[in-house]
Amino acid sequence: MSELKPKTMKESQVTMIELVLPNDTNILNNLLGGRLMHWMDIAAAMAASRHCHTVCVTAEVDDLSFHEPIRLGNIVSLRASVNRAFNTSMEIGVKVEVEDFTTGEIKHSNSAYFTFVSIDSKTGKKIPVPQVIPETDEEKKWYDDALTRRTQRLNKKHGIFHN
């Protein structure tokens, strides 16, 4: 197998923009949570695939937080970034901001961390992913925090809990 060339976070970052239409909302004219999760998964998948140039699949989602309601007519901006790569998996952070186009006000609405796995499309087996090179102080924090979250995920999976 050829050597995997590390990539900066900027090389695989994705920004996706959506407009909340009537078909996307509940009876209160707020964006359906499932629709937002769908959009977030798509943004994360694009960042993962851009990072690896392979098929990448969702393995886990954690820390999905809803801070602000998203209303009919709002503009939704989803930014996905590969925070850290491990062996065959990577953590992608997705941040959602909502804009009220009538006022121009932008608010942080939602965030989540996705774990994606790189798959060989011919064999269906997991394959190694390129490492991530954090450049800015903010990216270095995302990179370090991703290892902490991964350790917590693995401990939870194996029934190891720490206070």
pLDDT surpasses 60 at 1: no
Distance separating alpha carbons of residues 13 and 62, to the nearest angstrom: 19
Q: Is residue 36 part of a domain?
A: yes
Residue 1 lies in a domain: no
CATH code, domain carrying 79: 3.10.129.10
Distance separating alpha carbons of residues 108 and 113, to the nearest angstrom: 15
Residue 121 lies in a domain: yes
The tens digit of pLDDT for each residue in 23-80 reads 999 999 999 999 999 999 999 999 999 999 999 999 999 878 788 889 999 999 999 9
Q: What is the pLDDT of residue 161?
A: 62
CB neighbours of 107 closer than 8 A, spacing ≥ 6?
Answer: 67, 68, 97, 98
The answer to the question of residue 64 being in a domain is yes
- Structural domain of 151: 7-157
Domain count, the chain: 1
The reply to whether 46 falls in a domain is yes
Give 65 or 16, the one with higher predicted confidence: 16
A 10 A CB-CB count for 143 gives 19
Residue range 120-134, pLDDT digits in tens = 999 999 999 999 999
Mind listing the pLDDT tens digit for each residue in 86-97?
Answer: 999 999 999 999
Instruction: Please give the Cα distance from 61 to 25 (Å, whole number).
Output: 23
